């Protein structure tokens, strides 16, 4: 078991002020793999103070200096890829091959996309008889999840640093090791002391302390809508900027007459990738009633090709979900759907055959799902697809939009009709004949999926203030 018992503050690894040791379990073995110290509100005070002291100098660094810093971070990140792959696989349960081609490169991609945006960003422009200037916000608190830990950290960290802000990060206590390796990367890349700080801990203590801290100017949170509401309430007391990417319940609207074997092969795998633990997983398949039988047959075949296996072994399989709580939630939603009248097409309750331990979930397809069922509205965050039928495109759009979430949506079928339909969908991201998030484009949601955007120049702008200067000489 790896021991990582320090917090990173003001450019050094230091002991927590009163924190307690916490063991991180490997979800494949249910055995401890890492131990960390869960920090305290006192640790938050120290980290925020360091970030506040560093802000004055760092916020005034030149564009060239920040470009060079991001280039150095990218170089150091590339050198640590094997360490990051191992850390994510052991703590998240993602297969080591998937970590090498998706999980870890996603974080690197965020830095590269931000660097490209930084080179061309209009920090100052003329508008009428005034000047509009983009400036750093100040101290940014970041609270990030476990499902795509490096992607979610770097989607915030890269633009925050590029904009000239200083940072205090609270990574998920379920997957802390990759964040601590990232701290080493930043240190070795030459990030000045106090510009980046890391405090491990629970959301209820460290996260809450960051959200309500008077010296934090912005809090950027990714996680559940329930937790996002708590962060927003705590942050409101000091009227700081709140930037959130929350839950999702993405529809996959399959257009009438679509070539189902082709269309579904491009999107249904996104339901099962990362063991279904992706906020943009297109779990709600909406299919024209005339194509119901073919759609169910094709979706079943795709699901049954998904192998479940040990994340430490290379191969085209999925691993377990993150913990017992998540496993039980998925089982509860599957059982509720069955009790409410859904039909199990593939998979179902319990662990896959051959697994007696580990938080492994059977790749599952449920047909006959209706909007009256719990599984229609609640985010599953597991490898579970649901199939719902519609009679015409207007009804399909209504069903697609029948959710409190609005993070992403998928439209499958004729690209021209899909492009027209995309404008009718209430989601921050709509992909056509694909489910993946394009790097460098704005990412964020409508409704209870949050506010603000990450990615490229749009994400960079969200980590800056806008100042108007009127009456200055040309």
Q: Among 434, 437, 433, which Cα is nearest to 407's?
A: 437
What is d(CA 121, CA 25) in angstroms, rounded to the nearest whole number? 42
| Averaged pLDDT for residues 341-367 | 97
Rounded (10°) angle between helices 63-79 and 177-189:
130
What is d(CA 258, CA 110) in angstroms, rounded to the nearest whole number? 34
Q: Which of 260-274, 392-406, 436-450 has the lowest mean pLDDT?
A: 436-450
Among the listed residues 91, 245, 379, 454, the single catalytic one is: 245
Structure confidence by residue, pLDDT tens digits, 235-253:
999 999 999 999 999 999 9
Annotated catalytic residue 353: no
Coil, strand or helix: which one is 165? coil
Structure confidence by residue, pLDDT tens digits, 286-312:
999 999 999 999 999 999 999 999 999
What is d(CA 305, CA 365) in angstroms, rounded to the nearest whole number? 12
What is d(CA 112, CA 75) in angstroms, rounded to the nearest whole number? 10
**Encoding tokens for residue 113?**
């996309």
| Averaged pLDDT for residues 329-333 | 98
Q: In angstroms, what CA-CA distances link 251 with 65, 205, 284, 388, 405?
A: 43, 35, 4, 10, 10
Percent of the chain scored above 90 by pLDDT? 97
Q: Among 179, 187, 177, 195, which Cα is nearest to 59's?
A: 195
What per-residue confidence (pLDDT) applies to 437? 84
CB atoms within 10 A of CB 186: 25
Q: Is the pLDDT of residue 319 over 90?
A: yes
Question: How do 364-367 and 384-390 pair as beta strands?
Answer: parallel
Q: Is the pLDDT of residue 343 over 90?
A: yes
Domains and CATH numbers, the chain: 2-121+135-246 (3.40.605.10), 251-438 (3.40.309.10)
Q: Considering the entire predicted model, what is its pTM?
A: 0.97
CB 231 within 8 A of CB 41: no
**Encoding tokens for residue 146?**
């476990």
What per-residue confidence (pLDDT) applies to 472? 80
CB 461 within 8 A of CB 119: no
How many Cα atoms sit within 13 Å of 72 on the Cβ side?
17
Q: Is the pLDDT of residue 474 over 80?
A: no
| Number of residues assigned to the chain | 474
What is d(CA 5, CA 7) in angstroms, rounded to the nearest whole number? 7
What is d(CA 201, CA 45) in angstroms, rounded to the nearest whole number? 13
Q: Is the pLDDT of residue 409 over 80?
A: yes
What per-residue confidence (pLDDT) applies to 71? 98
Question: How do 139-143 and 218-222 pair as beta strands?
Answer: parallel
Structure confidence by residue, pLDDT tens digits, 166-177:
999 999 999 999
**Host H or E run for residue 5:** none
What per-residue confidence (pLDDT) applies to 438? 84
What per-residue confidence (pLDDT) applies to 339? 98
Rounded (10°) angle between helices 149-163 and 63-79:
160
What CA dihedral angle connects 375, 231, 467 and 111, to 10 degrees?
-70
Q: Among 95, 471, 69, 142, which Cα is nearest to 311's?
A: 95
**Encoding tokens for residue 178?**
């990759």
User: For the chain, how are helix, strand and coil distributed in percent, rounded to 5?
Assistant: 40, 25, 35
Residue with tokens 């979610």: 152
User: Residue 464: beta bridge partners?
Assistant: 136
Exposure string for 105-129, b = 16+ CB within 10 A, e = fewer: bbbbbbbbbbbebbeebeeeeeeee
Backbone CA torsion sign across 221, 226, 231, 236: positive
Among the listed residues 90, 154, 279, 454, the single catalytic one is: 279
CB 218 within 8 A of CB 138: yes
CB 200 within 8 A of CB 176: yes
Annotated catalytic residue 173: no
Structure confidence by residue, pLDDT tens digits, 49-72:
999 999 999 999 999 999 999 999
What is d(CA 216, CA 213) in angstroms, rounded to the nearest whole number? 6
What per-residue confidence (pLDDT) applies to 1? 85
Coil, strand or helix: which one is 369? coil
What per-residue confidence (pLDDT) applies to 473? 78
Percent of the chain scored above 70 by pLDDT? 100
Structure confidence by residue, pLDDT tens digits, 96-139:
999 999 999 999 999 999 999 999 999 999 998 899 999 999 99
The maximal CA–CA distance of the chain, rounded, in angstroms, is: 75
CB 274 within 8 A of CB 59: no
User: Residue 3: beta bridge partners?
Assistant: 35
What per-residue confidence (pLDDT) applies to 331? 98
What per-residue confidence (pLDDT) applies to 70? 98
For residue 236, what are the contacts with CB-CB under 8 A and spacing of at least 6? 242
CB 200 within 8 A of CB 38: yes
């Amino acid at each position: 078991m790896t021991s990582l018992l320090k917090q990173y503050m003001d450019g050094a690894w230091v002991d927590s002020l009163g924190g307690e040791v916490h063991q991180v379990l490997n979800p494949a073995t249910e055995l401890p793999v890492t131990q960390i110290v869960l920090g305290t509100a006192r640790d938050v005070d120290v980290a925020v103070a360091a970030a506040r002291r560093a802000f004055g100098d760092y916020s005034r660094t030149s564009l060239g200096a920040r470009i060079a810093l991001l280039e150095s971070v990218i170089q150091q990140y590339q050198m640590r890829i094997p360490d990051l792959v191992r850390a994510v696989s052991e703590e998240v349960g993602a297969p080591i091959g998937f970590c090498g081609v998706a999980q870890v490169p996603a974080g690197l991609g965020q830095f590269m996309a931000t660097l490209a945006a930084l080179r061309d960003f209009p920090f100052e422009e003329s508008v009428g008889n005034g000047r509009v200037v983009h400036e750093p916000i100040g101290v940014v608190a970041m609270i990030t999840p476990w499902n795509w830990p490096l992607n979610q950290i770097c989607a915030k960290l890269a633009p925050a640093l590029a904009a000239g802000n200083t940072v205090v990060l609270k990574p998920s206590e379920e997957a802390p090791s990759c964040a601590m390796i990232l701290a080493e990367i930043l240190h070795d890349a030459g990030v000045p002391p106090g510009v980046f700080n890391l405090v491990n801990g629970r959301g209820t203590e460290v996260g809450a302390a960051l959200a309500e801290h008077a010296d934090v100017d912005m809090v950027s949170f990714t996680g559940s809508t329930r937790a996002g509401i708590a962060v927003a309430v705590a942050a409101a007391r000091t009227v700081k900027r709140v930037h959130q990417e929350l839950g999702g319940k993405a529809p996959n609207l399959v257009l009438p007459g679509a070539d189902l074997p082709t269309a579904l092969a491009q999107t249904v795998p996104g339901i099962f990738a990362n063991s279904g633990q992706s906020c943009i997983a297109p779990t709600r398949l909406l299919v024209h009633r005339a194509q119901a039988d073919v759609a169910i047959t094709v979706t079943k075949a795709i699901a049954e090709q998904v192998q479940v296996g040990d994340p430490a072994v290379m191969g085209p399989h999925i691993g377990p979900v993150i913990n017992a709580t998540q496993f039980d939630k998925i089982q509860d939603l599957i059982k509720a759907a069955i009790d409410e009248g859904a039909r199990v097409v593939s998979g179902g309750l319990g662990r896959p055959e051959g697994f007696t331990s580990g938080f492994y979930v059977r790749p599952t397809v449920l047909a006959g799902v209706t909007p009256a069922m719990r599984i229609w509205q609640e985010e599953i965050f597991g490898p579970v697809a649901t199939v719902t039928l519609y009679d015409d495109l207007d009804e399909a759009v209504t069903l697609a939009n029948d959710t409190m979430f609005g993070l992403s949506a998928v439209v499958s079928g004729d690209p021209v009709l899909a492009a027209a339909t995309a404008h009718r969908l209430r989601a921050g991201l709509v992909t056509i004949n694909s489910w993946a998030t394009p790097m460098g484009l704005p990412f964020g949601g409508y409704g209870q999926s949050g506010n603000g955007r990450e990615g490229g120049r749009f994400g960079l702008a969200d980590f800056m203030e806008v100042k108007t200067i009127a009456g200055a000489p040309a």
